Structure 1
């Protein structure tokens, strides 16, 4: 029974990730025109008009995040690590440098102007800072040959990367069940999108230490 569960878990994870990743592609595709009023940007016209560089940072975040998600997913594949270590290293380098140079800095910038007021801004800024920190620590750990520390911090990093999906998942659930006011919704999902992810990873790491 336990063996069957262990076999099914990776399949279930792959299926779920693929489904939500396709949804993310559909969301990202709305911005392919690079119009300043596409999709979500329709309610961000104040920032678009008055904040210098908001659009470049926004698009840098939107388009880099989709590739980081995919790269992070493959990095969790133990088969890739065992059989194709060079591919694992190269994908990992792409993941790290894209997060550090594009995704996290751009997320920090647009987070300063997040909907939902002060509490939402604090959440998205914290998310971006931790994302940068965990990714950098994971990278420096493997440079120092500390594989255990590397795995721990990269799992934390991907937990925050995955918030791009979980944030939207929680948004759909909350709107369907409770119909909150838009600003209340932003404040809730700003935190709900990444805190549970990180707690799950920390619980997993804690259990690994006990073994």
Structure 2
């Protein structure tokens, strides 16, 4: 058994390599117009019920036979929604190379806060062992709400929309851990597809920005 800290420093610039290997997600419009590379971070943003999770799940299903380990982190989702995702992954045989981490809406804010860091620690294990991994955060807007709840309980000074001042830092340090490593480090990669939900198409709201 191996153990890893869920909070780790992101790889430095000298340990990284430019993104040059494609990661096909199975949707021709995306693969042709905005192709995603291994080690890249690409945001999936949109209103509720616009197919954000569907795009992410299709990306996982399309990794079959590509030697990519997939990690799906559900944050603040309903148990029934996560169960549907798992059933779909099982239907297409994707659970053979996938990990599902669930901190549901009924779990504590602390569990929802820790879930993405636990997921990225698993992804880093494969990245650091010269493997390729894909991680989905569904979704980081609920993660920000959980962090706001924790911060208010701890009586930290609230900022805009009652979010603490370092809410952007917790997401940036999380996403920076996705990287394509240089050849000396094994050339492994961790690709991140974070999801953010908007309200009435407002992409200029506090958290989506």
Indicate the structure (1 or 2) with the bigger Cα radius of gyration. Answer: 1
Higher relative contact order (CA 8 A, sep 6+): 2
Which structure: greater strand fraction? 2
TM over 0.5: no
TM-score normalised according to structure 1 size: 0.30
More helix by share: 1
